Structure 1
Amino acid sequence: MFRNACRAVAIIVVIFFCISVPFSAFAQAGQGDAADQVRHILDEVMAIQSNPQLAGDPHRPERKKRIQDILAKNFDMDRMAKDALGGYWPKLQVNQQAEYTAVFRDLFQDSYTRLVLDFLKQEQIRYSPAELKNGEALVKTVILRQDANIQVDYLLAPIKSGWRIHDVTIDGVSIVRKYEDAFSRVIRMKSYDELLEKLRLQQRAIQQNP
């Protein structure tokens, strides 16, 4: 009986070891992948910003286009659009969701690109190991400047080919939460239709004056 009990414990230990070791290895690999991806994105952006062939106003549209391409590959703008609408998202019809998402995507890509062009130069950035929780990764970074250190955190979700960013927090302020607060205020005080019309106006302004 004692021998059987020991055998059972041994089997449990082996099963636990087989399960926990691959999971731990996967978690460590995921951490590296998420942090490395953020580093790669920022390295790409800073290379564009510091490229002398793209310097000066005449080449600014080309810089903008290249940065937008990076954002399109690495940001989950559809999820950001959904999260920014909060509890109102399920109330929309499928065609309404598609229209709103397309408008949001254009506005976010333009505004974040402008932020990068105006704000992010050839920076010294400190990266912390990614923190994994509920299948997602939080990558904390600090932009180190002489006058100030700026905390920028990236929240990523896994996809087949790596990770995609679905929120950025700058000095404790979440971009998606800022959108959600602004959108919910318009919907509460006016209506969803009023919000969409405001977004369309901004989208048309960008298209007319890129």
Structure 2
Amino acid sequence: MSFTLCTSRLLAVTTLLASLLVALPPMPVQAAGLPAEEPTAVIRQTVDGILEQLRTLPDAQSRRDRISALVRGQFSFELMAQGAMGPYWHQASAQQRSTFVALFTELLEATYMGRITAYTNEQVRYGQQQVRQNRALVETYIQSGNTEIPIFYKLLPHQDRWQVYDVVIEEVSLVRTYRSSYTDILRRRGIPGLLQEMEQKLEQLRAETPPAVEERA
């Protein structure tokens, strides 16, 4: 069979396959191994759940407990802690890492809850969702009067579901903010010094009752 004849047949087969593919209905695009639930659905469930608890539960401690359970169920605090510690994570011992994750979880949770509770009576608009490879970004906007406050959530798949690994509030990343602060302390005082300062900060927070929460009791 001549080269020209083979080429002609190959082109004919290619053309036929192309026409068949065009005729088929479009299939939903989803990267292999990604959770079936949409990232926006995960964030909507979490944010709406938090705001619902803030609006309906009269007891401040009950609100904090319920919100904490919601946040810890959807946030990957270990990944966030690694990002906040940066290269120093690999220098820390297993015990230091465990202690850091526990302290960081409580601190970040308090920071996030403090910000979100300020918008209890506002409306939330869910914007675009972007999924690239195994990363997702979900845009939300708090509508406060004539102003929209952007709060973006970055997610990764973990154990067949999407989990938050960073929150960007008004273009400020929580993880990067902590990393910048911690890097300075780590350079001056090392890992033990950072853990000590985190403990002191938490003791201060525990001694205080967030005004935004108590006002709605």
TM-score clears 0.5: yes
In structure 1, the residue matched to 2:129 is: 130
How many angstroms apart in 2 are the aligned matches of 1:209 and 1:149? 29
How many angstroms apart in 2 are the aligned matches of 1:146 and 1:108? 27
**1:52-109 alpha-carbon deviations (Å, 9 max, x no partner):** xx23xxx111111110010110100011111000111111122221221122122222
In structure 2, the residue matched to 1:25 is: 29
Kept after mapping to 2: 8 A contact 1:186/1:194? yes
In structure 1, the residue matched to 2:147 is: 148
Whose radius of gyration is greater, 1 or 2? 2
Report the TM-score when normalising by structure 1. 0.81
Gaps of 5+ in 2: 1-5, 210-217
In structure 2, the residue matched to 1:170 is: 169
Shift, 1:129, TM fit: 2.6
In structure 2, the residue matched to 1:81 is: 81
Is 1:72–2:72 an aligned residue pair? yes
> Of residues 31, 35, 55 in structure 2, which corresponds to 1:50?
55
Shift, 1:43, TM fit: 1.0
Secondary structure, in 3 states, of the residue corresponding to 1:26?
Answer: coil
Change (3 A) 1:146 1:98: same
> Of residues 39, 57, 81 in structure 2, which corresponds to 1:34?
39
Is 1:95–2:100 an aligned residue pair? no
**1:144-169 alpha-carbon deviations (Å, 9 max, x no partner):** 11152201110011123421111111
How many angstroms apart in 2 are the aligned matches of 1:157 and 1:134? 10
Change (3 A) 1:12 1:45: same
In structure 1, the residue matched to 2:214 is: none
CA RMSD, Structure 1 to Structure 2 (Å): 2.8
Shift, 1:30, TM fit: 6.5
Change (3 A) 1:111 1:196: same
How many angstroms apart in 2 are the aligned matches of 1:190 and 1:8? 69
**1:7-46 alpha-carbon deviations (Å, 9 max, x no partner):** 76369869x99xxx76x5325x979710111111111111
Letter in 2 for 1:115: R
Shift, 1:197, TM fit: 0.7
Structure with the higher fraction of residues in helix conformation: 1
Percent of pairs with identical residues: 22
Change (3 A) 1:185 1:13: farther
Change (3 A) 1:107 1:204: same
Q: How many residues align?
A: 198
